[in-house]
A and B are shown apart, each in its own frame.
Chain A
Amino acid sequence: MSLEADLGIFVMSIAAGLIGSLAGVGGGILVIPVLTTFFGVDIRLAVGASIVSVIATSSGAASAYVRDRVTDMRVGMFLELATTTGAVCGALLAAVVAPAFLYLLLGAVVLLSAGMQMSRLAEEFPPQLAASRLALALKLSSSYPDRRLGLEVPYSARRIPLGFVLMWIAGAVSGLLGIGSGVLKVLAMDTAMRLPMKVSSATSNFMIGVTAAASAGIYLGRGDVDPRIAAPVALGVLLGAVIGARLLHHVSNRSVRLIFVPVLIAVGLEMIGRGLGLSI
Protein backbone atom coordinates (compact mmCIF):
# COMPACT_ATOMS: atom_id res chain seq x y z
CA MET A 1 0.00 0.00 0.00
CA SER A 2 1.58 3.26 -1.11
CA LEU A 3 1.16 6.44 0.91
CA GLU A 4 -0.64 8.05 -2.04
CA ALA A 5 -3.22 5.27 -1.90
CA ASP A 6 -3.50 5.92 1.86
CA LEU A 7 -4.53 9.50 1.07
CA GLY A 8 -7.16 8.24 -1.38
CA ILE A 9 -8.52 5.86 1.26
CA PHE A 10 -8.64 8.76 3.73
CA VAL A 11 -10.78 10.91 1.41
CA MET A 12 -13.14 8.01 0.59
CA SER A 13 -13.53 7.30 4.31
CA ILE A 14 -14.71 10.85 5.04
CA ALA A 15 -17.72 10.20 2.78
CA ALA A 16 -18.35 6.83 4.45
CA GLY A 17 -18.31 8.40 7.93
CA LEU A 18 -20.62 11.20 6.84
CA ILE A 19 -23.27 8.89 5.36
CA GLY A 20 -22.87 6.30 8.13
CA SER A 21 -23.36 8.80 10.97
CA LEU A 22 -26.52 10.23 9.36
CA ALA A 23 -28.08 6.87 8.47
CA GLY A 24 -27.11 5.10 11.71
CA VAL A 25 -24.96 2.49 9.96
CA GLY A 26 -21.26 1.76 10.23
CA GLY A 27 -20.22 2.65 6.74
CA GLY A 28 -18.64 -0.78 6.26
CA ILE A 29 -20.94 -1.33 3.31
CA LEU A 30 -19.20 1.59 1.57
CA VAL A 31 -15.69 0.95 2.86
CA ILE A 32 -15.39 -2.75 1.94
CA PRO A 33 -16.33 -2.58 -1.79
CA VAL A 34 -14.29 0.60 -2.40
CA LEU A 35 -11.19 -0.83 -0.69
CA THR A 36 -11.35 -4.11 -2.60
CA THR A 37 -12.36 -2.66 -5.98
CA PHE A 38 -10.40 0.59 -6.25
CA PHE A 39 -7.45 -0.01 -3.96
CA GLY A 40 -6.97 -3.75 -4.49
CA VAL A 41 -7.06 -4.46 -0.76
CA ASP A 42 -7.45 -8.10 0.28
CA ILE A 43 -11.07 -8.77 1.37
CA ARG A 44 -9.88 -10.00 4.79
CA LEU A 45 -8.06 -6.73 5.53
CA ALA A 46 -10.98 -4.73 4.11
CA VAL A 47 -13.35 -6.39 6.60
CA GLY A 48 -10.86 -5.65 9.41
CA ALA A 49 -10.77 -2.00 8.35
CA SER A 50 -14.56 -1.98 8.18
CA ILE A 51 -14.85 -3.09 11.83
CA VAL A 52 -12.57 -0.19 12.73
CA SER A 53 -14.73 2.16 10.65
CA VAL A 54 -17.90 1.01 12.46
CA ILE A 55 -16.39 1.86 15.84
CA ALA A 56 -15.05 5.18 14.53
CA THR A 57 -18.44 6.22 13.07
CA SER A 58 -20.22 5.18 16.23
CA SER A 59 -17.88 6.84 18.73
CA GLY A 60 -17.24 9.91 16.57
CA ALA A 61 -20.89 10.83 16.15
CA ALA A 62 -22.30 9.40 19.40
CA SER A 63 -20.46 11.91 21.54
CA ALA A 64 -22.49 14.73 19.97
CA TYR A 65 -25.75 12.76 19.67
CA VAL A 66 -25.68 11.79 23.37
CA ARG A 67 -24.96 15.35 24.51
CA ASP A 68 -27.71 16.76 22.27
CA ARG A 69 -30.32 14.25 23.58
CA VAL A 70 -30.99 12.66 20.18
CA THR A 71 -29.65 9.28 21.36
CA ASP A 72 -32.00 7.46 23.72
CA MET A 73 -29.50 5.85 26.11
CA ARG A 74 -32.10 3.67 27.86
CA VAL A 75 -33.45 2.32 24.56
CA GLY A 76 -29.83 1.76 23.49
CA MET A 77 -28.70 -0.04 26.65
CA PHE A 78 -31.86 -2.15 26.88
CA LEU A 79 -31.49 -3.28 23.26
CA GLU A 80 -27.74 -3.86 23.62
CA LEU A 81 -28.71 -6.66 25.98
CA ALA A 82 -30.31 -8.29 22.91
CA THR A 83 -27.55 -7.46 20.41
CA THR A 84 -24.59 -8.57 22.57
CA THR A 85 -26.14 -11.91 23.58
CA GLY A 86 -27.29 -12.36 19.97
CA ALA A 87 -23.74 -11.66 18.75
CA VAL A 88 -22.27 -14.27 21.10
CA CYS A 89 -24.84 -16.87 19.96
CA GLY A 90 -24.19 -15.92 16.33
CA ALA A 91 -20.44 -16.36 16.73
CA LEU A 92 -21.01 -19.79 18.26
CA LEU A 93 -23.52 -20.76 15.55
CA ALA A 94 -21.19 -19.71 12.74
CA ALA A 95 -19.86 -23.24 12.46
CA VAL A 96 -23.24 -24.89 11.82
CA VAL A 97 -25.22 -22.42 9.68
CA ALA A 98 -24.66 -21.99 5.95
CA PRO A 99 -23.83 -18.28 5.44
CA ALA A 100 -24.99 -18.31 1.79
CA PHE A 101 -28.57 -19.06 2.86
CA LEU A 102 -28.45 -16.32 5.49
CA TYR A 103 -27.12 -13.74 3.03
CA LEU A 104 -29.95 -14.48 0.60
CA LEU A 105 -32.60 -14.30 3.32
CA LEU A 106 -31.24 -11.06 4.75
CA GLY A 107 -30.79 -9.51 1.34
CA ALA A 108 -34.47 -10.15 0.59
CA VAL A 109 -35.56 -8.70 3.97
CA VAL A 110 -33.44 -5.59 3.49
CA LEU A 111 -34.70 -4.96 -0.06
CA LEU A 112 -38.31 -5.41 1.10
CA SER A 113 -37.78 -2.90 3.88
CA ALA A 114 -36.32 -0.44 1.37
CA GLY A 115 -39.75 -0.56 -0.29
CA MET A 116 -41.46 0.00 3.07
CA GLN A 117 -39.20 2.96 3.81
CA MET A 118 -40.09 4.50 0.46
CA SER A 119 -43.79 4.29 1.29
CA ARG A 120 -43.13 6.06 4.58
CA LEU A 121 -40.97 8.79 3.08
CA ALA A 122 -43.51 11.52 3.72
CA GLU A 123 -43.83 10.71 7.42
CA GLU A 124 -41.96 13.22 9.60
CA PHE A 125 -43.02 11.74 12.97
CA PRO A 126 -44.59 8.40 13.91
CA PRO A 127 -48.16 8.66 15.27
CA GLN A 128 -48.15 9.53 18.97
CA LEU A 129 -50.06 7.02 21.08
CA ALA A 130 -50.28 6.57 24.85
CA ALA A 131 -47.25 4.77 26.34
CA SER A 132 -47.75 1.02 26.82
CA ARG A 133 -47.38 -0.54 30.29
CA LEU A 134 -44.10 -2.19 29.23
CA ALA A 135 -42.75 1.12 27.91
CA LEU A 136 -43.57 2.72 31.28
CA ALA A 137 -41.96 -0.11 33.26
CA LEU A 138 -38.78 0.03 31.15
CA LYS A 139 -38.82 3.84 30.92
CA LEU A 140 -38.76 3.72 27.13
CA SER A 141 -40.71 6.94 26.66
CA SER A 142 -38.87 10.20 26.20
CA SER A 143 -38.58 13.19 23.91
CA TYR A 144 -35.91 14.71 21.71
CA PRO A 145 -35.30 18.31 20.69
CA ASP A 146 -35.83 18.78 16.95
CA ARG A 147 -33.73 21.87 16.32
CA ARG A 148 -34.77 22.18 12.72
CA LEU A 149 -38.43 22.56 13.71
CA GLY A 150 -37.68 24.15 17.10
CA LEU A 151 -39.85 21.51 18.80
CA GLU A 152 -39.50 19.06 21.67
CA VAL A 153 -40.87 15.85 20.12
CA PRO A 154 -42.28 13.25 22.55
CA TYR A 155 -42.23 9.55 21.65
CA SER A 156 -42.81 6.17 23.27
CA ALA A 157 -41.46 2.78 22.14
CA ARG A 158 -44.13 0.46 20.69
CA ARG A 159 -44.00 -3.34 20.24
CA ILE A 160 -41.03 -3.68 22.59
CA PRO A 161 -40.87 -7.54 22.59
CA LEU A 162 -40.79 -7.57 18.77
CA GLY A 163 -38.07 -4.89 18.76
CA PHE A 164 -36.04 -6.91 21.29
CA VAL A 165 -36.30 -10.10 19.21
CA LEU A 166 -35.33 -8.21 16.02
CA MET A 167 -32.33 -6.74 17.85
CA TRP A 168 -31.29 -10.20 19.03
CA ILE A 169 -31.43 -11.34 15.39
CA ALA A 170 -29.43 -8.26 14.36
CA GLY A 171 -26.80 -9.20 16.96
CA ALA A 172 -26.76 -12.85 15.86
CA VAL A 173 -26.33 -11.77 12.24
CA SER A 174 -23.37 -9.55 13.08
CA GLY A 175 -21.79 -12.39 15.06
CA LEU A 176 -22.40 -14.83 12.19
CA LEU A 177 -21.45 -12.68 9.23
CA GLY A 178 -19.07 -10.20 10.82
CA ILE A 179 -21.09 -7.14 9.81
CA GLY A 180 -22.18 -4.19 11.94
CA SER A 181 -25.89 -4.69 11.15
CA GLY A 182 -26.73 -1.01 11.69
CA VAL A 183 -29.32 -1.38 8.92
CA LEU A 184 -31.21 -4.02 10.91
CA LYS A 185 -30.96 -1.93 14.09
CA VAL A 186 -32.47 1.15 12.46
CA LEU A 187 -35.23 -1.01 10.97
CA ALA A 188 -36.04 -2.57 14.37
CA MET A 189 -36.31 0.84 16.07
CA ASP A 190 -37.98 2.72 13.24
CA THR A 191 -40.29 0.09 11.74
CA ALA A 192 -41.06 -2.17 14.72
CA MET A 193 -40.75 0.17 17.71
CA ARG A 194 -41.94 3.28 15.89
CA LEU A 195 -39.29 5.64 17.27
CA PRO A 196 -38.70 8.88 15.32
CA MET A 197 -36.21 8.36 12.45
CA LYS A 198 -33.51 10.64 13.93
CA VAL A 199 -33.74 8.91 17.32
CA SER A 200 -33.54 5.52 15.56
CA SER A 201 -30.46 6.42 13.54
CA ALA A 202 -28.68 8.19 16.44
CA THR A 203 -29.41 5.31 18.83
CA SER A 204 -28.32 2.74 16.24
CA ASN A 205 -25.16 4.76 15.78
CA PHE A 206 -24.65 4.64 19.57
CA MET A 207 -25.12 0.84 19.61
CA ILE A 208 -23.09 -0.34 16.60
CA GLY A 209 -19.78 0.51 18.31
CA VAL A 210 -20.53 -1.94 21.11
CA THR A 211 -21.60 -4.68 18.68
CA ALA A 212 -18.43 -4.12 16.66
CA ALA A 213 -16.21 -4.03 19.77
CA ALA A 214 -17.48 -7.52 20.64
CA SER A 215 -16.02 -8.92 17.43
CA ALA A 216 -13.10 -6.50 16.96
CA GLY A 217 -10.88 -8.45 19.37
CA ILE A 218 -11.36 -11.58 17.28
CA TYR A 219 -10.44 -9.79 14.02
CA LEU A 220 -7.40 -8.20 15.67
CA GLY A 221 -6.18 -11.53 16.99
CA ARG A 222 -6.64 -13.12 13.56
CA GLY A 223 -4.37 -10.49 12.00
CA ASP A 224 -7.10 -8.80 9.95
CA VAL A 225 -6.38 -5.25 11.15
CA ASP A 226 -3.57 -3.66 9.13
CA PRO A 227 -2.79 -0.13 10.38
CA ARG A 228 -1.57 0.90 6.93
CA ILE A 229 -5.19 0.54 5.77
CA ALA A 230 -7.10 0.90 9.04
CA ALA A 231 -5.33 4.14 10.08
CA PRO A 232 -6.46 6.27 7.11
CA VAL A 233 -9.91 4.62 7.27
CA ALA A 234 -10.28 5.43 10.99
CA LEU A 235 -9.14 9.05 10.57
CA GLY A 236 -11.33 9.72 7.54
CA VAL A 237 -14.40 8.07 9.02
CA LEU A 238 -13.99 9.95 12.32
CA LEU A 239 -13.82 13.26 10.50
CA GLY A 240 -16.87 12.39 8.37
CA ALA A 241 -18.83 11.22 11.42
CA VAL A 242 -18.12 14.43 13.36
CA ILE A 243 -19.34 16.51 10.39
CA GLY A 244 -22.40 14.23 10.03
CA ALA A 245 -23.33 14.65 13.70
CA ARG A 246 -23.46 18.43 13.18
CA LEU A 247 -25.56 18.06 10.04
CA LEU A 248 -28.25 15.82 11.60
CA HIS A 249 -29.83 18.76 13.42
CA HIS A 250 -30.35 20.68 10.22
CA VAL A 251 -32.02 17.96 8.16
CA SER A 252 -35.54 16.54 8.40
CA ASN A 253 -36.48 13.00 9.43
CA ARG A 254 -37.57 12.61 5.83
CA SER A 255 -34.06 13.48 4.55
CA VAL A 256 -32.51 10.95 6.93
CA ARG A 257 -34.83 8.35 5.40
CA LEU A 258 -33.80 9.52 1.91
CA ILE A 259 -30.15 8.86 2.84
CA PHE A 260 -31.05 5.53 4.45
CA VAL A 261 -32.97 4.05 1.47
CA PRO A 262 -30.01 3.92 -0.99
CA VAL A 263 -27.91 2.38 1.80
CA LEU A 264 -30.61 -0.28 2.24
CA ILE A 265 -30.69 -1.03 -1.47
CA ALA A 266 -26.89 -1.27 -1.63
CA VAL A 267 -26.75 -3.55 1.43
CA GLY A 268 -29.58 -5.73 0.10
CA LEU A 269 -27.94 -6.18 -3.30
CA GLU A 270 -24.54 -6.85 -1.77
CA MET A 271 -25.97 -9.55 0.51
CA ILE A 272 -27.78 -11.26 -2.33
CA GLY A 273 -24.58 -11.05 -4.36
CA ARG A 274 -22.61 -12.67 -1.56
CA GLY A 275 -25.32 -15.30 -1.11
CA LEU A 276 -25.04 -16.21 -4.79
CA GLY A 277 -21.29 -16.48 -4.39
CA LEU A 278 -20.36 -13.33 -6.28
CA SER A 279 -17.47 -11.49 -4.71
CA ILE A 280 -17.93 -7.75 -4.44
Chain B
Amino acid sequence: MNPERFRVMVSTVLLVGVSVSALLIAAGFAAAFAVGWQGSLAGAAPAVPALDATDFADLPSRLLTMEPLAISQLGLLTLLATPVLRVAASVVGFALEGDRLYTGITLLVLCVLLASIFVLR
Protein backbone atom coordinates (compact mmCIF):
# COMPACT_ATOMS: atom_id res chain seq x y z
CA MET B 1 0.00 0.00 0.00
CA ASN B 2 1.48 3.36 -0.91
CA PRO B 3 1.51 6.20 1.68
CA GLU B 4 -1.16 8.09 -0.23
CA ARG B 5 -3.69 5.25 -0.07
CA PHE B 6 -2.80 4.66 3.59
CA ARG B 7 -3.65 8.28 4.38
CA VAL B 8 -6.93 8.03 2.48
CA MET B 9 -7.83 4.85 4.38
CA VAL B 10 -7.17 6.33 7.85
CA SER B 11 -8.90 9.55 6.82
CA THR B 12 -11.93 7.59 5.57
CA VAL B 13 -12.22 5.58 8.81
CA LEU B 14 -12.30 8.87 10.75
CA LEU B 15 -14.75 10.48 8.35
CA VAL B 16 -17.17 7.52 8.39
CA GLY B 17 -16.98 7.21 12.21
CA VAL B 18 -17.63 10.91 12.67
CA SER B 19 -20.42 11.04 10.06
CA VAL B 20 -22.31 8.03 11.41
CA SER B 21 -22.06 9.28 14.99
CA ALA B 22 -23.06 12.83 14.01
CA LEU B 23 -26.11 11.52 12.11
CA LEU B 24 -27.23 9.37 15.06
CA ILE B 25 -26.65 12.10 17.65
CA ALA B 26 -28.43 14.66 15.44
CA ALA B 27 -31.35 12.26 14.88
CA GLY B 28 -31.69 11.73 18.63
CA PHE B 29 -31.35 15.47 19.28
CA ALA B 30 -34.01 16.32 16.66
CA ALA B 31 -36.33 13.60 17.97
CA ALA B 32 -35.95 15.03 21.47
CA PHE B 33 -37.45 18.28 20.19
CA ALA B 34 -40.46 16.31 18.92
CA VAL B 35 -41.20 13.89 21.76
CA GLY B 36 -38.80 14.91 24.55
CA TRP B 37 -35.59 13.13 25.55
CA GLN B 38 -37.42 10.39 27.47
CA GLY B 39 -40.18 9.89 24.91
CA SER B 40 -40.45 7.28 22.20
CA LEU B 41 -40.80 7.71 18.44
CA ALA B 42 -42.56 4.35 18.27
CA GLY B 43 -45.39 5.82 20.30
CA ALA B 44 -44.91 3.25 23.04
CA ALA B 45 -44.26 4.20 26.62
CA PRO B 46 -40.53 4.07 27.50
CA ALA B 47 -39.43 0.64 28.67
CA VAL B 48 -38.14 2.09 31.93
CA PRO B 49 -40.04 5.32 32.63
CA ALA B 50 -37.73 7.12 35.06
CA LEU B 51 -34.58 6.10 33.25
CA ASP B 52 -31.31 7.73 34.30
CA ALA B 53 -29.99 9.54 31.22
CA THR B 54 -26.41 8.53 31.95
CA ASP B 55 -27.23 4.81 31.99
CA PHE B 56 -26.08 3.10 28.80
CA ALA B 57 -27.45 -0.31 29.81
CA ASP B 58 -30.23 -2.05 27.83
CA LEU B 59 -29.35 0.01 24.78
CA PRO B 60 -30.54 -2.58 22.20
CA SER B 61 -34.03 -2.91 23.70
CA ARG B 62 -34.38 0.86 24.12
CA LEU B 63 -33.32 1.38 20.51
CA LEU B 64 -36.22 -0.84 19.43
CA THR B 65 -38.68 1.60 21.00
CA MET B 66 -36.83 4.47 19.23
CA GLU B 67 -36.11 6.55 22.31
CA PRO B 68 -34.34 9.81 21.37
CA LEU B 69 -32.04 9.25 24.35
CA ALA B 70 -31.03 5.79 23.15
CA ILE B 71 -30.39 6.99 19.58
CA SER B 72 -28.08 9.72 20.88
CA GLN B 73 -26.36 7.23 23.18
CA LEU B 74 -25.62 4.94 20.24
CA GLY B 75 -24.16 7.94 18.39
CA LEU B 76 -21.96 8.84 21.36
CA LEU B 77 -20.70 5.25 21.61
CA THR B 78 -19.85 5.35 17.87
CA LEU B 79 -17.93 8.58 18.44
CA LEU B 80 -15.98 7.09 21.37
CA ALA B 81 -15.10 4.01 19.26
CA THR B 82 -13.79 6.07 16.32
CA PRO B 83 -10.22 6.72 17.63
CA VAL B 84 -9.87 3.02 18.51
CA LEU B 85 -10.93 2.04 14.98
CA ARG B 86 -8.46 4.58 13.61
CA VAL B 87 -5.58 2.90 15.49
CA ALA B 88 -6.76 -0.55 14.28
CA ALA B 89 -6.84 0.74 10.68
CA SER B 90 -3.30 2.11 11.14
CA VAL B 91 -2.05 -1.36 12.16
CA VAL B 92 -3.42 -2.74 8.89
CA GLY B 93 -2.03 0.20 6.92
CA PHE B 94 1.53 -0.06 8.26
CA ALA B 95 1.44 -3.86 7.75
CA LEU B 96 0.36 -3.48 4.11
CA GLU B 97 3.04 -0.84 3.66
CA GLY B 98 5.57 -3.44 4.86
CA ASP B 99 6.76 -1.23 7.73
CA ARG B 100 7.40 -3.80 10.48
CA LEU B 101 8.69 -1.28 13.04
CA TYR B 102 5.52 0.82 12.86
CA THR B 103 3.20 -2.20 12.59
CA GLY B 104 4.69 -3.31 15.93
CA ILE B 105 4.47 0.14 17.53
CA THR B 106 0.86 0.63 16.43
CA LEU B 107 -0.15 -2.88 17.52
CA LEU B 108 1.33 -2.16 20.95
CA VAL B 109 -0.65 1.10 21.15
CA LEU B 110 -3.83 -0.79 20.22
CA CYS B 111 -3.18 -3.38 22.96
CA VAL B 112 -2.57 -0.71 25.63
CA LEU B 113 -5.69 1.14 24.46
CA LEU B 114 -7.91 -1.97 24.56
CA ALA B 115 -6.46 -2.96 27.94
CA SER B 116 -7.21 0.49 29.34
CA ILE B 117 -10.80 0.32 28.10
CA PHE B 118 -11.67 -3.27 29.00
CA VAL B 119 -9.29 -4.33 31.79
CA LEU B 120 -8.44 -1.29 33.92
CA ARG B 121 -11.55 -0.19 35.70
* B116 CB, min distance to chain A CBs, angstroms: 4
For chain B, the count of residues having a C-beta within 8 Å of the partner chain is 54
* A195 CB, min distance to chain B CBs, angstroms: 18
Q: Is the CB of B117 within 8 A of A214?
A: yes
C-beta contact mask, A202-229 vs B, less than 8 Å → 1, else 0?
Answer: 0000000110111111101101111110
Within 8 A of B (CB), among A41-89: 45, 48, 52, 55-56, 58-60, 62-64, 66-67, 69, 73-74, 77-78, 80-81, 84-85, 87-88
User: Is A91 interfacial (CB-CB < 8 Å)?
Assistant: yes
* B46 CB, min distance to chain A CBs, angstroms: 14
- By a beta-carbon cutoff of 8 Å, the part of chain A in contact with chain B is 3, 6, 45, 48, 52, 55-56, 58-60, 62-64, 66-67, 69, 73-74, 77-78, 80-81, 84-85, 87-88, 91-92, 138-139, 209-210, 212-218, 220-221, 223-228, 230-232, 234-235, 238
Q: Is the CB of B76 within 8 A of A59?
A: no
What are 21 inter-chain pairs, A to B, with CB distance below 8 A? A52-B80, A58-B83, A62-B11, A66-B10, A67-B11, A77-B109, A78-B102, A85-B112, A138-B101, A139-B101, A209-B82, A213-B83, A214-B116, A217-B117, A220-B56, A225-B56, A225-B76, A227-B69, A227-B76, A234-B79, A238-B18
Using CB atoms, name the residue of chain B closest to A218.
Answer: B121
Using CB atoms, name the residue of chain A closest to B70.
Answer: A227
Q: Is the CB of B116 within 8 A of A73?
A: no
Using CB atoms, name the residue of chain B closest to A48.
Answer: B54
Interface of A is mostly: helix
User: Is B120 interfacial (CB-CB < 8 Å)?
Assistant: yes
- By a beta-carbon cutoff of 8 Å, the part of chain B in contact with chain A is 6-8, 10-12, 14-15, 17-18, 21-22, 25-26, 28-29, 32-33, 37, 52-56, 69, 72-73, 75-76, 79-84, 86-87, 90, 94, 99, 101-102, 105-106, 108-109, 112-113, 115-118, 120-121
